A = this chain, B = another copy of it.
Amino acid sequence: MSSLVLYNYFRSSTSYRVRIGLHFKNLDFEYKSVHLLKDGGEQHRAEYRQLNPIGGVPTLVHNGKPISQSMAILEYLEETFPQNRFFPKDIYTRAKVRQFCENINADIHPLQNLKVTQYLEKNLNISPEQKQQWLNNWISLGLQATERILENAAGQFCFGDEVTAADLLLVPQVFSAERFQIDLKPFPNIQRINLECLKLDAFQKAHPTRQPDYQA
């Protein structure tokens, strides 16, 4: 019997990616909430730092062994549970899917991250308008590049007609963009694929509003 425990937070987009991956592969897992705001952030507690030295979410614990960083977790899930693959078999297409994922993981997401906007507010005293400009700038720039890739790559989903890791990254990024009130009208492919994914069971089960620690 293999045991999977996911330490995560309903609203965290990196957590959301991994939840979709787990549901997409029909894997049962125990949901452990790590509240990023309560008591200064539960991710900073010493016992959680044992699992995740950088103090972020999510962390997946498989048979007692922890892995963090959503991209590393998704690759691990794919290698460990081969059903319902989300990385394409063709090496070049797989590289393009990873490239797409990293555009979100390493270029957009780190700049919208809670710890970064908290630093800007507390240490650089930025105004609410400056914070909104910061978010608009990085998210819109990143989504422009994403939209341009989709113009050529997309079918029903980001890469052709099968769900890939690209969709697992895109949908949580759209969720964040909506929460940050980014104008999505310039991105018709992104909007369409997001809605297409949200018809699927795995994406619905993983949605932030359906998690036990959800708060409006």
What is A's interface to B at a CB cutoff of 8 Å? 53-56, 65, 67-69, 71-73, 75-76, 79-80, 91-92, 94-96, 98-99, 101-103, 105-107, 109-111, 116, 119-120, 123-124, 126, 130, 133-134, 137, 142, 145, 148-149
Contact = CB atoms under 8 A, between A and B. Distances in A.
B69 A106 contact: yes
Contact of A95 (B75, B102, B107): B75
A175 to B, nearest CB: 18
A98 B69 contact: yes
B53 A65 contact: no
Contact of A99 (B68, B92, B130): B68
B111 A98 contact: no
30 contacts: A53-B148, A53-B149, A54-B107, A56-B107, A67-B95, A67-B96, A67-B99, A68-B99, A69-B102, A69-B103, A71-B71, A71-B102, A71-B106, A72-B99, A72-B101, A76-B91, A79-B91, A79-B95, A105-B105, A106-B106, A106-B109, A106-B110, A107-B110, A110-B110, A111-B111, A111-B116, A119-B137, A120-B124, A123-B130, A123-B137
Given A76-B95, A106-B109, A111-B116, 8 more contacts: A53-B148, A65-B92, A69-B102, A71-B71, A72-B98, A75-B95, A79-B94, A124-B130
Nearest to A55: B145
A93 B126 CA distance: 42
A7 B213 CA distance: 45
A79 B94 CA distance: 10
Given A106-B110, A116-B111, A72 B53 contact: no
Contact of A98 (B75, B95, B116): B75
Contacts of A101: 72
A153 B84 CA distance: 32
Contacts of A106: 69, 71, 105-106, 109-110
Nearest 6 pairs of A and B residues by beta carbon: A72-B98, A69-B102, A110-B110, A54-B145, A76-B95, A72-B99
